[in-house]
Chains A and B, each alone.
Chain A
Amino acid sequence: MTVAEASDQAQSDALGYADLTRLMSLMTGDEKHTAAATSTLDALWVLYDRVLRVSPQTADHPDRDRFLLSKGHGPMAYYAVLAAKGFLDPAVLPGFGGYDSPLGHHPDRLLVPGVEIGSGSLGHGLPIAVGTALGLRARQRIRPDGSRPAVWVLIGDAELDEGSNHEAIAFAGAAGVEELRAVVIDNQSATHGWPGGIESRFRAAGWTAETVYGRDHGALLRAYRGGRPGSPHAVIAVVEPKD
């Protein structure tokens, strides 16, 4: 089964966007989630529902798209999306954070199917994503339709404070790592902010970048499909300020 075929099959069995609130409440016991808990929800949903070529059946396929959650704290939305898409049995959600649960308050790639990296400490995902993209290129992974696996990484605007991210942004732009796609969830939580805007930081380093409203699924999808050959691409998804 190819990545695309398995994705199509999985979609038909999977739950929908409307199920995510219920899935999250299994972890938190809370029917209404704060903005911080759901800041990534729509960006993740559109990625997994419309963009990523990966499914439970292809979670180990060398030609799958990779998604690296660098912003590994508050992962309830991530777990909910993974459960909705069949990577994760919803039955494990109520154990969230428990001793016998695979689901920690930071994800662990060795415990959760479909999770590409263990994360939570800020500033690790983007550098790892750069290396993953380079590694897939070195292994000459090309799908039957001629496309190359993409490597997506999701970070937060405050996570962008970490210098390791700036090492990765500067290098990826200069090296033209075009398989690399970054999603920055901007809930304005960086202590000193980003004068001039986050998008400008990526553009200055040679990336293509676009800023959209992070609750608008159509806008997210269009931005995800943007970019140009030869450059990494960043989508800044602006959501409500962190309270």
Chain B
Amino acid sequence: MTTSTVQPATVRPTAARPTAARPAAADEDARSRFYRVAAELLDEDPRIAVVLADIGADRFARSARAHPDRVVNVGIREQLLVGVTSGLALAGMRPLAHTFGSFLVERPFEQIKLDLNHQGLGAVLVSALGSYDWPAGGRTHMSPGDVALLDTLPDWTVHVPGHPDEAELLLRHAAAGEGLVYLRLSAQTNSTAQPVAPGRFLTVRQGTAESGTVVLAVGPMLDNVLAATDNLDVTVLYAATVRPFDGAALRAGTAGAGVADVVLVEPYLAGTSVPFAAEALADRPHRLLGLGVPRAELRRYGTMEEHIEAHGLDPASLRARISGWL
């Protein structure tokens, strides 16, 4: 990797697209909220340690002076980032490890598998940039496969908050817990925070019982899904925690129909949660449509909004794809 503490400058909303997903102001996005709340957690809880690989290190400068033993910047060494996280957990700490998703999950994946899962340890991994937050940076800083990769391992709780307030709630919940948690932060955000409870899908819009159609919006997809399904007879569920997958909520949402129709809209690799939805509906007739970031590399720069459109995740594209499928 060659980029250090880059601040994406391409995530601001454009006035021309009022219905598109609206990123928060640069100083209020989920990533900035993480830096602020993690610093507070370091002050509040002596078990908390923050492990960095240069990314975000300047944002923890005060914390590093106040807690020199609990803010560890290993330099640009992502295998060591995860190994050190493992060792801190072995010593009884609650480590929060942070860098961009590409370098946190994809590059040191065997370390995640062996140093965390296989050792039977807990830790909180907090990523930034997501799938398309900084398209001008190119493929190197995109990680649409991160959740699918973690799905090859057991016991991960995966939070995909759609608003900085949700990110703070889920971060505090993860820091106070014991298990393996992946907190996936994006610059894309919904206009308002939802009253999320970790692990539960929320019913944001209720369709009629006969419809039996559920559109599940994951994290920052919610605003676009709500706009796309306006006046459609569907139930919209919202997931800020996507693992464990709340299959009971999906079953309840589709209970009234002979055939359950389920659309999953995720801000990472399309279809990532399809196996989990299929498992929840295994004993009843169902159809599944997984929408998200395609497997093929787009190989374009530009803005986040342009990539959301290119992936068909803007409101107009979503409406066409969902109503066409129904």
Chain A residues contacting B82 (CB-CB under 8 Å) are 127
Contact A135 B93 (CB under 8 A): yes
Interface 0/1 of B53-78, CB less than 8 Å to A: 00000000000000001101011010
Q: Closest 3 CB pairs between A and B?
A: A131-B87, A127-B83, A135-B91
Question: A138 interface residue, CB < 8 Å from B?
Answer: yes
Contact A130 B87 (CB under 8 A): yes
Question: B110 interface residue, CB < 8 Å from A?
Answer: yes
Interface 0/1 of A130-167, CB less than 8 Å to B: 11111111110000000000010000000000011001
Interface 0/1 of A162-205, CB less than 8 Å to B: 01100110110000000000000000000000000000000000
Contact B115 A135 (CB under 8 A): no
Give chain B's interface residues, CB within 8 Å of chain A: 46, 49, 51, 69-70, 72, 74-75, 77, 79-80, 82-93, 95, 110-111, 114-115, 118-120
Contact A164 B90 (CB under 8 A): no
Cross-chain contact of B79 among A62, A109, A139, A167 (Cβ < 8 A): A167
Of A27-35, A82-90, A114-122, the segment with at least 4 beta carbons within 8 Å of chain B is A114-122
Task: Name which residue of chain A comes closest to B77, CB basis.
Answer: A167
Most buried by A among B46, B69, B85: B69
Contact B79 A134 (CB under 8 A): no
Task: Name which residue of chain A comes closest to B53, CB basis.
Answer: A167
Cross-chain contact of A138 among B74, B77, B88 (Cβ < 8 A): B88
**How far apart are the CA atoms of A55 and B243 in the complex, in Å?**
40
Contact B85 A131 (CB under 8 A): yes
Question: A124 interface residue, CB < 8 Å from B?
Answer: yes
Cross-chain contact of A168 among B46, B83, B93 (Cβ < 8 A): B83
Cross-chain contact of B86 among A108, A110, A128 (Cβ < 8 A): A128
Chain A residues contacting B69 (CB-CB under 8 Å) are 134, 137-138
**How far apart are the CA atoms of A128 and B91 in the complex, in Å?**
10
**How far apart are the CA atoms of A123 and B115 in the complex, in Å?**
11
Contact A138 B49 (CB under 8 A): yes
Contact B111 A133 (CB under 8 A): no
| Apart from A66-B90, A131-B91, 14 more pairs, CB < 8 Å | A108-B118, A109-B120, A110-B119, A117-B90, A121-B114, A127-B83, A128-B119, A131-B84, A132-B88, A132-B90, A134-B91, A135-B90, A137-B69, A138-B49
